Structure 1
Amino acid sequence: MDTVTGSVRTAGSSPVLARTLTVVVIGSIMAVLDVTIVNVAIHPLATAFGAPLATIQWVATGYTLALGAVIPVAAWAMGRFGAKRTYLTALALFAGGSAAAALSWNVETLVLFRVVQGLGGGLLMPVGMAMVIRAADRERMGRAMAVLGVPVLIGPVSGPVLGGWLIDAVSWRWIFLINLPVGVVALVLAARLLPGDVTRQTRRLDVPGLLMLSPGLALLIYGLSTGGERGDVMTPGALLPALAGVLLIAGFVVRGLTARHPLLHLRLFRDRTFAAGFATLTLFPAGYFGSMLLTPMYYQTTRALTATESGLLGIPLALAVGASMQIATRRIDKASPRVTIVSGIVVSVLGLSLFGAQLGPDTPYWRLCAAMLVMGAGVGMVMMPANATATRTLAPDDVPSGSTTLNIASQIGISTGVALMSVILASNVAGATDPSQRAAAFQHTYWWAVTLLALAGVPALLLPRRRIDLGVGAPGPDPHPSIPSEHSAG
């Protein structure tokens, strides 16, 4: 706890910012650890429940669907109930869902309780990020975002190893019970340290918008996930839900542009910096997380490694991402956002290309890890710096809507990337009978992930050339401007 608090204090001298970051970092560590632990537990859970892999996969899919469905509510909930109350509710849902999941007696109840976890997890990041953005001024924004990236370092490094050990040495139930002490600490600290909710918005919830966006996101994610699992997005069970989701999201966009009080403020896309950040944070996670699906599968199916061994080989990437993120996000306060983020994309493309180009059945592991180190250095220069840049020019009243919208972008990108890589890999690996052929199938699939990373460079070129001097809540002639000023056009 002292280590986290000490790191938080380096983000700035504001006591409110330090307290907020302490709470949000602890809550985010819990959520990120849970996702990384459960990802390595799918096969052991299938064995424990005697269920087919396609059924047990809903332990992850159910969580993701709930996550996508509840994220759009975050901005309204913060306005209606206050950020602190909303965050406390999210922590309670996540911790309570974890406890219930640990007591599950069959697959159906486990999936149900994972949905409860997802409802809490979907609120944690946008609400936590909005509270941090509100507490940070323009001089502390980059450093605050760097501290907010600490869970991204801790989760991927420790999650797979911790999850493998808990399953092998204790029981699968402990992969959920491990969340309880962290959740209790986060709840106590949130209740004591977060500033009180002073005012509330009185605007009514945009129910038609919510009924289009939340089901639309859930159907789109479901269709993509189903297509990825079956290796074919054109099957009716995958294509029809995905198309229905796209139509509902399109309807939400039309309503968002015409409604007096929309669920999310789509007018924010009139600001070039925010729009470019949104596009970057959709394309880049699609390539990055899509490739992260492939790597453990390559190690386990082509190199015959265990889940724990493949998790250990992922540590260099996670360390590189964390270290690079800390440096780049702290420097974004003084450096050019465009140069930093575009350079990160170029380095990421180079690292993943090096990994894919030398992929084979007997490639030395040190060479693969070296390529992942290069990629990780680039990844750390992109995601949190892009988030900090996209939200820096937002007016205080627009922060909840903006942070929620960016989280939706990342979720859509991740779901799309994972589904696309699954489909492409399934089509390439069909008929592969030996390790060399399987390695070639993975190699071909990696080039698609490289392409997605490279495409993220196009909107990133529209980010500001110079550092953005306008901070959240910066003084000006209009304390609540409807559209950020023109220096965001870079």
Structure 2
Amino acid sequence: MTTTATPPAAAPEPTPEKSDKLDRQLLLIAGVVVLGGIMSILDVTVVSVALKTFETEFNATTADVAWTMTAYTLALATVIPLTGWAADRFGTKRLYLVAVTLFTIGSVLCALAPDLTWLIIFRVVQGLGGGMLMPLGMTILTRAAGPERLGRVMAVMGIPMLLGPIFGPILGGWLIDIASWHWIFLINLPIGIIGLVYASKVLAPDDVEPSETFDFIGMLLLSPGLALFLYGISSIPGARQEEGTAFTTEVVATMALGAVLIAAFVPWALRKANIHPLMDLRLLRNKNLTVALITMSFFAIAFFGASLLFPLYFQRVRGEEALTAGLLLAPQGVGAMLTMPLAGLLADRIGPGKIVMTALAVIAFAMGLFTQIDDTTSYAYMLGALFIMGLGMGGAMMPIMTAALATLNNHSIARGSTLLNIQQQVAASIGTAIFATLLTSQMQDKTSIQVADALEEAGDDPAAQAGVLAEFGLDPAGLEALLAKVLPDMASSFASVFTVATVLVALCLVPAFFLPRRKVHASAEPIVLH
């Protein structure tokens, strides 16, 4: 095995005559990518507020309707590894149009689903299209911008990634309130048609030489490995709540099998004879990419995990409806929108390192404010903390991605984007599972919450209510005093989990310290293997 450093002149972009300004054509391309990202990411969070509606409409259990989320996530995990190879093999424009078409068709089918089983099947179809949109969009935008403008266009790309989890529940709750659950899917039809026409007009024709072989063995190892691993992780919170332990046979078996398949993929991908592996792990020889991936892993675990807590606090502790809870998260989105453009500009001029370090410190401070909440904390205090957190969010995620992709050449951008999206999906799933499990554990340790939940299940049945009192050794007088502690105990549980989130965000500062602290030039080309 030999290594050669590709000279700067060999990289197709950026060309010397390319301006570092965001010209009209680049902004049009960015619009295509943002539209696709909005469809893909919003659809994850929009559906989250419809789960209770699905239970009623389909007469199903919570565990059953959760598959409408899980099926979409597993489809993403299956298709993302294929995206880098397919983009190089068929061209980014062709594949992007296919992805939008598949996502749109899947959305319409979901809206027409006659029962829960078909809805889950159609969510898989939708996820296969949605899984390609983000890595493809990243590839298209990175190639069009070049290193000199990458920070600013990645800030544009960050709009759906940061704001989707905030405004998705608002949109979903509003559509369900004014119409029906079908419209959380039907709304994608006009957006998808606009996206297809827009992309076909704006994106340049593909110019590819379909010479790369397909890594069939890699696909058999990596795609099912990721799907099984993520399924196991996503099952942890439910197992902890229903079985009393996170490590049931089903969870351990699926996670272990998935981990074995992923581990087997690593030596296969690094074999000298494997010239075109499904996921190019050789890119990890690029220090900037590796450090950025580690930083993004910690960040995604902390950010996406903690994002679960905010709406749950407003709903369970403060008694807000899903739509109101979503609206209360708006200050975070406003803060992010204010800092994203500035962070992108600075990342292009001085490098991402200092920006990310500052942003993470701001997020850690804001997250720390939530460790002090109780059931009577003023909304002004919490909305102010969310706004500060948003300021940090806008300066963290996309500069990290800029550091990861800025030094990749034209050919390796698709593979690098795929690697980044796989890592982010896995980290986000891990974060969600960790925080959901921690919150469940905290609440199950509080007797007042256990009694309140048991009484809710008992309903108006006097015999069932008496059984609850007997189980916990309570009399009516003791019950009244205990139930008065429910909301304070719930708030205390949230505060404890926010402490974990604060620590995880602070830990992100360690790998972020090694991100580049000066402008990344095109000459910083990664070493590639031949």
Q: Which amino acid aligns with 2:31?
A: T
CA spacing shift, 1:13–1:273, aligned 2, 3 Å: closer
Superposed displacement of residue 15, structure 1: 5.2
Distance (whole Å) between structure 1 residues aligned to residue 177 and residue 420 of structure 2: 37
Asked if 2 retains the 8 angstrom alpha-carbon contact of 1:74 and 1:123, the reply is yes
- For 1:241-277, what per-residue CA distance to the aligned partner results, in whole angstroms no more than 9, with x for missing partners? 1111111111111111112321122111111110001
Deviation at 1:471, TM superposition (A): 7.0
| Contact map agreement 1:147 1:326 (CA 8 A) in 2 | yes
Structure 2 CA distance for partners of 1:29 and 1:51, relative to 1, 3 Å: same
Deviations 1:97-136 (A, max 9, x none): 0000000111111111111111111100001110111111
In the TM superposition, residue 386 of structure 1 has moved relative to its aligned partner by 0.6
Task: Identify which of 420, 428, 437 aligns with 2:442.
Answer: 428
Report 1:261-410 matches (<5 A).
261-356=276-371, 358-410=372-424
Q: Which amino acid aligns with 2:283?
A: L
Give runs of aligned pairs for residues 187-198 of structure 1, distance below 5 A: 187-198=196-207
2:252 alignment partner, one of 239, 263, 284: 239
State the alpha-carbon separation in 2 of the partners of residues 481 and 223 from structure 1: 36
Q: Work out the CA distance in 2 between the residues paired with 1:271 and 1:448.
A: 31
Which is further off, 102-111 or 337-346? Answer: 337-346
The answer as to whether partners of 2:368 and 2:499 remain within 8 angstroms in 1 is yes
Letter in 1 for 2:197: V
Q: Quote the sequence identity (%).
A: 40
- 1:330-365 deviations in Å (ceiling 9; x for gaps): 220012421111111111111111112x21111111
Cα distance, 1:50 vs structure 2: 1.4
Following the alignment from structure 2 to structure 1, what is the Cα–Cα distance between the partners of residues 105 and 187? Answer: 12
Instruction: State the match for 1:49 in structure 2.
Output: 58
Single out whichever of 21-30 and 272-281 deviates more from structure 2. Answer: 21-30
CA distance in 2, matches of 1:186, 1:471: 35
Q: How does 1:457-468 map to 2 (within 5 A)?
A: 457-468=509-520
d(CA) in 1 for partners of 2:37 and 2:118? 25
For 1:4, the equivalent position in structure 2 comes to none
SS at match of 1:124: helix
**TM-aligned CA deviation for residue 181 of structure 1:** 0.4
Report SS of the residue matched to 1:482.
strand
Q: State the AA in 2 paired with 1:18.
A: L
Cα shift at 1:201: 3.3
1:447-462 to 2 correspondence within 5 Å? 447-462=499-514
Secondary structure of 2:148's aligned partner: coil
**1:61 equivalent in alignment to 2:73:** no
Tell me the equivalent position of 1:445: 497
Give CA-to-partner distance per residue, 1:134-153, whole Å, 9 cap, x none: 11122221121122223246
TM-score scaled by length of structure 2: 0.85
Residue 229 of structure 1 corresponds to which residue in structure 2?
A: 238
Q: Give the alignment's TM-score, normalised by structure 1.
A: 0.92
**Secondary structure at the counterpart of residue 113 of structure 2:** coil
Identify which range, 205-214 or 463-472, moves more after superposition. Answer: 463-472
Question: Unpaired segments of 5 or more residues in structure 2?
Answer: 1-18, 449-485
**Residue 431 (structure 1) shift:** 4.5
Give the counterpart of 1:91 among 100, 110, 125: 100
Q: Distance in 1 between matches of 2:318 and 2:445?
A: 18
Aligned match for 1:202, one of 198, 211, 222:
211
Select 2:146's aligned residue among 133, 137, 151. 137
Query: Secondary structure at 2:247's aligned position in 1?
Result: coil
Report the secondary structure of 1:333's partner residue.
helix
Superposed CA offset, 1:23-78 (max 9, x none): 11111122222222112111122122111111101111110110111100000100
1:465-484 equivalence runs, <5 A: 465-470=517-522, 482=528
Q: CA separation in 1, counterparts of 2:314 and 2:353?
A: 35
Deviations 1:146-186 (A, max 9, x none): 22223246534543222112111111100100111000000
Aligned to 2:132, which of 118, 123, 130? 123
Q: What is the alpha-carbon distance in structure 1 between the residues aligned to residue 227 and residue 116 of structure 2?
A: 21
**Residues 165 and 307 in structure 2, CA contact (< 8 A), matched pair in contact too:** no
Query: Quick check: 1:34 aligned with 2:43?
Result: yes
Change (3 A) 1:293 1:387: same
Counterpart contact for 1:145–1:330, Cα < 8 Å:
no
- TM-superposed CA distance for 1:417, in Å, is 0.3
Distance 1:415 1:158 in 2: 20
1:84 partner SS: helix
What corresponds to 1:487 in structure 2? none
Distance of 2:287 and 2:305 partners within structure 1: 27
* Pairs aligned (count): 467
Assess if the C-alpha contact under 8 Å between 1:395 and 1:481 holds in 2.
Answer: no
